[in-house]
Amino acid sequence: MKIAFLGDYNHPNAQSWIESMRTVGGCEIIEWSLPITNNRAGRFSRILSWAKSLLTIRSTLKKINPDIVIAYRITSYGFIGAVSGFHPLVIASQGGGADVWPLNSVTTPFKRWMAKYSIKKADLVQAWGQHMADAQIALGADPKKILVLPRGIYLDKFYPPAVPLENKELNIVVTRSLYPEYCHLLMLQAVSLLKKSGTPFKLHIVGAGSELDNLKAAAKEMDIENEVIFHGKIDNKILPELLRTCDVYTSMTRSEGVSASLFEAMACGCYPVVSDLIAMHYWIKNGYNGTLVPIDDAQKLFEGYKFAWEEKQFRREAIAHNIAMVNEKASLTKNMKTFVDRYDDVIKSSKK
């Protein structure tokens, strides 16, 4: 199967998807992307490139001559794919709101129109979670054309320790990039309360980003610099090893699609203490297999950590449940085969 992949192929989620389609699905992938820059001039150049691509994408796809086109992000690459007139066309959301973001901007009506147009032209719409599918249906998607399934993770890399942990301190890990939207400062506030309560702990912060210096300064000011470990960006081969030494996975992001980081941590035996978002409700039942914390509430987050430390038997039972759930529903190898089978069906249908 020859696939033209329209998307920002340097994005980690796109890289994971492309790699697994090649290695697991046996597909040939031809990547096409707009210029990727972060400064204002670069963004303007990207907009111009996007507009130009609407005129050139047909000839580009004609040269590639794929069996199917996959466009990742409904209002950008999805719209480009829709304008091309190529079939079969698969489009996929990156976020929980079908990529119509921000919600209250002068551009929102135009983005919503683009999303509706893209969805109407697509032969298959992929949603990593049901909340994404609901957003797509609200924009006019035919439920019969939606495939709801997460990409998943490599379970041969992410698996629990052979022997259950008996740590003498609560090891908490967060693996989200160090940017304001991931609310690492809130975690520092919560663990400072943990220290004041006399609970022994270590907070392992994995990743890089613009907030690193601010977070280091905050940890020092809160007198928790000895308990907070900044690992930086670590190799994916090392990450599972770290996760297997930790008791709790935490993330306090204010928005979420379907988090591979959450799956990875649960597969490695970490109990989740995460923000209370709709995306999380499909995987975590509060007080059953994890703890859901109100957004921006350091006190509740502290209580979630303390509960995980004190209720060890409950935590062990929750971890066992989560490992089984991830193995059943979030196997990248199994799910990718489902994706490729569905693509094959769409290709066959388009030829009738």
Q: How confident is the model at residue 324 (pLDDT cuts 50, 70, 90)?
A: very high
The class of domain 170-329 in CATH terms is: alpha beta
Within 8 A by CB and 6+ apart from 292, the residues are: 274, 275, 276, 280, 281, 284, 286
Which of the listed CATH numbers 3.40.50.800, 3.40.1350.10, 3.40.50.2000, 3.30.1330.200 matches domain 2-152+331-350? 3.40.50.2000
Please say whether the beta carbons of 172 and 247 come within 8 A.
yes
Q: What is the pLDDT of residues 88-109, one digit of tens each?
A: 999 998 765 556 666 667 778 8
User: What would the mean pLDDT of 167-178 be, rounded to a whole number?
Assistant: 96
Distance of CA 331 to the CA centre of its chain: 15
Whether 255 shows a pLDDT value over 90: the answer reads no
Question: Could you report the per-residue pLDDT of 187-240, keeping only the tens digit for each?
Answer: 999 999 999 999 999 999 999 999 999 999 999 999 999 999 999 999 888 999
**Topology alike, domains 2-152+331-350 and 170-329:** yes
Query: What average pLDDT does the chain have?
Result: 93
* Predicted pLDDT of residue 257: 78
47-56, 89-98, 127-136, 297-306: which is most confident: 297-306
Output the pTM of the full model: 0.88
* Residue 179 structure tokens: 């940017």
**Where exactly are the structural domains of the chain?**
2-152+331-350, 170-329
Cα–Cα dist 138/98, whole Å: 10
Per residue in 96-118, is it b (16+ CB within 10 Å) or e — as a string? Answer: bbbbbeeeeeeeeeebbebbbbb
Q: What is the mean pLDDT of residues 159-177?
A: 95
Structure confidence at residue 38 as a pLDDT band (50, 70, 90): low
Spatial separation of the C-alpha atoms in residues 18 and 30, rounded to whole Å? 10
- Judge contact between 191 and 171, C-beta under 8 A: no
In the chain, what percentage of residues exceed pLDDT 90?
79
The pLDDT, as a whole number, for residue 105 is 73
Residue 346 neighbours by CB under 8 Å, 6+ apart: 68, 88, 90, 123, 124
Amino acid found at 199: T
Taking alpha carbons only, the member of 270, 271, 292 closest to residue 281 is: 292
Question: Would you say 53 and 78 are in contact if contact means Cβ atoms under 8 Å apart?
Answer: no
166-187 average pLDDT score? 96
Q: Is a pLDDT exceeding 90 seen at residue 13?
A: no
